[in-house]
Structure 1
């Protein structure tokens, strides 16, 4: 019997064509709409002390698609719409299990733009990924290879606030092996002057670029606040600049923390 391999997400940037970007933006909007409709239906039922499950919301989705008002839901792949209902089911399971707050509605401006596809919603062949409803494969920047012979089980497409597009593929990775055990242990204290202080006496400084990035962010935020609310194009441009700086800070911080936590786990 084959050993159970660990599943890992491999995330890449990609550059959609205008048609693909329009299709994905439509899909994100439909995913958000279906999630909010199902949450409203479940909340209304909850007020009547009736529990609605995934199967019930799936039946509702079929009915919504037949109405004139929501016929546009038929224009996108049904797979991400079903997946968002599954995510809502998980959110309610976590709420009932007292592991999370009551699910919240997704807003157009603040919620993450994403859509999840299972195997029936994409084709992965010869190193090319083609999503449902699309004629051409995605133009992906393969910054690192997938494991040999890997077949993605789910694919998540997202767009961040800075307008960058990402695709994340969940694959089995036979290369992931347990680390050798060690008797070493270390205490970690999070500080203000330093990022971390270890019980060994080692002090890990905040990244050098942190202060520079923060200064740049403050300057961009001041410029944005000076833009008049009615000045649509310039305000949107300034908002994108703030989002790009935020994204760079988050990327750099994630990279530093990932390298640091990997080191601490390997050594202790």
Structure 2
């Protein structure tokens, strides 16, 4: 079996949105605590890994000040520590920079959870997720077995679920047919059958709009309501 990623728009209700936001905050907290723990260990000449940070999470849940950690998906918290561990492995192999602390103003907010014992599945127009229950989705294609799900919140306040699913690739015979494609600047491409596709230049149009909206943002007063509205406008252009 091969695996692929499939992304669907999600429409969580108010209660589910609050729980997603809480989960994002808890995952960020655990990631940062794990990072601080590993940084302290290295500065003392010790080397620790995922197991020690996982034990820290278990201890933290027992403390009165951190009982809120029990309200969110426990697998998501573990996965944030797995991400941290992968970040360190990539750093040691010189494939990435040293893991950085996360803050709530990061543009990309997401958490990942694993399908265990079929606790994640699509039911009608909903996806069943740990702690969240049935979340409404816009399913644009059929999917196979779900391995894991990443829940995303964009800077414009939209929610998405990214499913890692199993699939069988379909072979499509074309009876030996061939076509040559030439990508151009004026035209998007032309092919050997004489078809020409015009270049709509979406990116250039979007870039011009982004410059305009960012200029407007720079003129707004910091901390004002208008600045916040304009920040969302800029995020929408980025998203497009």
Give the drift of 1:176: 5.5
CA–CA distance in structure 1, aligned partners of residues 46 and 103 of structure 2: 26
Structure 2 distance, partners of 1:194, 1:33, is 50
Who is 1:71 aligned against? 67
> Mean alpha-carbon deviation: is it higher for 85-94 or for 125-134?
125-134
Cα distance change of structure 1 residues 161 and 205 upon mapping to structure 2, 3 Å threshold: farther
Runs (4+) of structure 1 exceeding 3 A deviation are 125-128, 176-180, 193-197, 204-207
Aligned partners of 2:65 and 2:173: how far apart in 1? 55
Query: CA 1:144–1:92 in structure 2 vs 1: closer, same or farther (change >3 Å)?
Result: same
Structure in which a larger fraction of residues adopt strand = 2
Q: 2: distance between equivalents of 1:114 and 1:21?
A: 13
Report the alpha carbon displacement of residue 122 of structure 1 after superposing the two structures with TM. Answer: 3.9
Partner secondary structure for residue 14 of structure 1: strand
Provide the rounded CA distance (Å) in 1 between the counterparts of 2:36 and 2:138.
Answer: 39
Unpaired stretches in structure 1, ≥5 consecutive residues: 198-203, 249-268
1:112 aligns to 2:104 (yes or no): no
Give the number of aligned pairs. 230
1:163 to 153, 157, 176: 157
Judge conservation of contact 1:122–1:129 (CA < 8 Å) in 2.
no
Question: 2:35 & 2:187 partners in 1: Cα distance?
Answer: 40
TM-score, scaled relative to structure 2: 0.84
Could you tell me how far apart the structure 2 residues matched to 1:31 and 1:195 are?
47
- Compared CA separation, residues 179 and 236, structure 1 to 2 (3 A): farther
**Structure 2 vs 1, CA of residues 205 and 38 (structure 1 numbering), >3 Å: closer, same or farther?**
farther
Distance 2:97 2:170 in 1: 33
1:220 deviation in Å? 1.4
Shift in Å, 1:75: 1.7
Comparing 54-63 and 117-126, the one that deviates more: 117-126
Corresponding residue number in structure 2 for 1:217: 210
Deviation at 1:211, TM superposition (A): 2.5
TM-score of the superposed pair, with normalisation by structure 1: 0.76
Matched with 1:241 is 233
Deviates more, 1:108-117 or 1:78-87: 108-117
2:88 paired residue number: 92
> Contact 1:119/1:153 (CA < 8 Å) preserved in 2?
yes
Q: Shift in Å at residue 196 of structure 1?
A: 9.8
Quote the residue 2:141 is aligned against. Answer: 144
Matches within 5 A, 1:1-268: 5-120=1-116, 122-127=119-124, 128-135=126-133, 137-146=134-143, 150-175=144-169, 207-231=200-224, 233-248=225-240
